[in-house]
Homo-oligomer: A and B are copies of this chain.
Amino acid sequence: MPMPQVPFDDRGLAYGDGVFETVLLRAGVPVLWDYHYARLLLGCQRLNIPLPSREQLVATWQSPPNAELEILKLILTRGSGGRGYATPDNSQPRLLSRRTPFVVNADRWHEGVNIRICQLRLGHQPLLAGIKHLNRLENVLARQEWNDPAIAEGLLGDADGWLVEATSMNVFWQQAGALFTPPLSQCGVAGTLRAALLDHGVVQEAAIALTAIHQVDRLWVANSVQGVWPVNKLLSETGVVLQSWNPAGHDRLQVVGHELLGYSPTSR
């Protein structure tokens, strides 16, 4: 299938005026679809873009699967518009999709990952917080801070120093036996796996300063495609190890998270 294109005057290109979703397909069936749909709806409400019909959305995954696991990426833009920021009266939203085969890296489930703390601080914008909009330069710049392949992710704090997320995953920690994830009212993307874990009562929201992150008992990064990665080592900006965690042992976050995603329970 040829790759979809958008014209020069598409507002998704011009202004990042749209939203996207990255959905795991298992045997052609979207995983956590209700959560993706809910986030898409929220994004459309915030940006005032008409939501495509369920039929249009379902059509994006109706062809036979090419692999057991695939990634379905959806991009929804406001459509074409003239010069200027004003929302055109007659714009037709543009829904684009692309499916690519996917192989999950299960080693990272078992062995854990090393991550770092990014220097970039996410700006506050409550009108855009949580939704998966197309204005992602902060994530791009944060991800440019390192290219060591031994570093799997980077933690992002906000302008006030609160932990928010990782560059492409949400973050979770354990303290005093309970599991937490940061609130995302000012910035960050509210991942679908995070939403499902909150709904299932596995985790709860709590604020933690980046400067206090070394006090937690365990740390994970996770999203709805890669699953749950235990963090072995968290590196500071200067490469100094702040703390290391041992990912071995019972790991409720990963067990429930992988159940939600349909991944086999990890055996250790």
Contact = CB atoms under 8 A, between A and B. Distances in A.
Nearest to A16: B16
Interface string A1-29: 00111111111111111001010000000
Nearest to A225: B83
A145 to B, nearest CB: 11
A10 B96 CA distance: 13
Interface in A117-162: 120, 122-125, 127-128, 133-144, 147, 159
Interface stretch (A34-42, A50-58, A84-92, A259-267): A84-92
Contacts of A232: none
A13 B6 contact: yes
B87 A159 contact: no
Give the interface size class of chain A: 35 or more
A236 interface: no
A231 to B, nearest CB: 19
A83 B96 contact: no
A96 B11 CA distance: 14
Given A134-B13, A168-B84, A7 B8 contact: no
A139 B7 contact: no
Contact of A15 (B73, B125, B134): B134
A20 B123 CA distance: 22
Contacts of A83: 22, 71, 73, 100
A108 interface: no
A170 interface: no
A215 interface: no
A87 B141 CA distance: 9
A137 B75 contact: no
A47 B137 contact: yes
A139 B136 CA distance: 15
Contact of A85 (B14, B16, B84, B168): B168
B168 A75 contact: no
B137 A16 contact: yes
